[in-house]
Amino acid sequence: MTVIAAFNILVHHRINPKLNGPYSLLFFSVFIACLGHLLLALSTNLDQAILSNKMIYVGSMFLPLFTFDASISICKIRLPRWCYDLLAIIVFAVFVMSQTVGFNGLYYKTIEFTTTYGVGNFIAEYGIGHDIFNCLMVGFVLINLSLIVYAFIKRRNVSFNSLIALSSMEVVSILSFFISRFVESDTMVMPAVYVFDQCALLYICFWVKRYDVEQIISQVLETQNSDSYVLITTNNKFLGCNAVAYKTFPDLKRCRIDHSMPDNTRLNSLLVSWIKEISQEKIVIEKKFESDGRYYKIKLRQIPLTRAKKINLFKIEDETSIHNYINMLGSNNVRLEMMLKENDSQIRSIQEQMLIGMAHMVENRDSNTGSHIKRTSKVVSILVDYLRKDKSLGYSDFFFDSLVSAAPMHDIGKIAIEDRILRKPGRFTPQEYEEMKSHPEKGAMIVENLLTSIESPDFVKIARNVARYHHERFDGFGYPQKLKGTEIPFEARIMAIADVYDALVSKRCYKAEMSFDDAYTIIIEGMGTQFDPSLKDCFIACRSKLEEYYGSLKEDEA
Cβ contacts of 51 within 8 Å, gap of 6 or more: 39, 43
Sign of CA dihedral 117, 120, 125, 127: negative
Contact in structure between 1 and 192 (CB atoms under 8 Å): yes
Whole-number pLDDT of residue 465? 93
Question: Which CATH number is 381's domain given?
Answer: 1.10.3210.10
Supply the mean pLDDT for the chain.
81
Query: Taking 80 as the threshold, does the pLDDT of residue 448 lie above it?
Result: yes
Half-sphere exposure of 449 (CA within 13 A, CB side): 9
How far apart CA 131 and CA 140 sit, in angstroms, is: 14
Regarding predicted confidence, which is higher, 167 or 354?
Answer: 167
Q: CA dist 3 to 9, 450, 542, Å?
A: 10, 53, 75
Per-residue pLDDT averaged across 423-434, rounded?
80
Helix, coil or strand: residue 189: coil
Whole-number pLDDT of residue 519? 92
Percent of the chain with pLDDT over 90: 23
Q: How confident is the model at residue 483 (pLDDT cuts 50, 70, 90)?
A: very high
> Are 532 and 509 contained in the same domain?
yes
How many helices and strands (H and E) does the chain possess? 22, 7
Half-sphere exposure of 498 (CA within 13 A, CB side): 28
Query: Taking 50 as the threshold, does the pLDDT of residue 268 lie above it?
Result: yes
pTM above 0.85, yes or no: no
> Are 131 and 183 contained in the same domain?
yes
The residue type of 538 is C
C-alpha dihedral over 295, 301, 302, 304, to 10 degrees?
-140
DSSP β-bridge partners for residue 101 = 104
> Are 314 and 404 contained in the same domain?
no
Question: Which CATH number is 156's domain given?
Answer: 1.20.1070
Whole-number pLDDT of residue 17? 60
Whole-number pLDDT of residue 242? 85
Regarding predicted confidence, which is higher, 359 or 130?
Answer: 130
Question: Which CATH number is 296's domain given?
Answer: 3.30.450.20
Contact in structure between 411 and 496 (CB atoms under 8 Å): no
Domain count, the chain: 3
> Are 174 and 271 contained in the same domain?
no
Look at 189-198, 265-274, 308-317, 364-373 and tell me which has the smallest mean pLDDT.
364-373
pLDDT tens, 52-102? 989 988 888 888 888 788 777 777 777 788 888 898 899 999 999 999 988
pLDDT tens, 199-254? 877 777 666 544 444 444 455 555 556 788 898 888 888 888 888 888 888 888 88
> Are 530 and 466 contained in the same domain?
yes
Contact in structure between 287 and 230 (CB atoms under 8 Å): no
How far apart CA 228 and CA 263 sit, in angstroms, is: 19
Per-residue pLDDT averaged across 292-311, rounded?
82
> Are 181 and 82 contained in the same domain?
yes
Contact in structure between 506 and 372 (CB atoms under 8 Å): yes
Cis before residue 480, ω within 30 degrees of 0? yes
Does 326 reside within a domain? Answer: no
Identity of the highest mean pLDDT range in 56-65, 125-134, 494-503: 494-503
DSSP β-bridge partners for residue 168 = none
Helix axes 160-183, 190-211, angle to 10 degrees: 180
Nearest to 301 by CA among 509, 464, 470: 464
Contact in structure between 71 and 26 (CB atoms under 8 Å): no
Q: How confident is the model at residue 341 (pLDDT cuts 50, 70, 90)?
A: low
Q: Which of 178, 195, 217 is the last residue of a domain?
A: 217
Whole-number pLDDT of residue 214? 46
How far apart CA 262 and CA 265 sit, in angstroms, is: 8
Whole-number pLDDT of residue 441? 92
How far apart CA 20 and CA 35 sit, in angstroms, is: 22
> Are 402 and 314 contained in the same domain?
no
Range of the domain at 173: 2-217
Does 342 reside within a domain? Answer: yes
Nearest to 406 by CA among 460, 454, 445, 361: 460
Does 330 reside within a domain? Answer: no
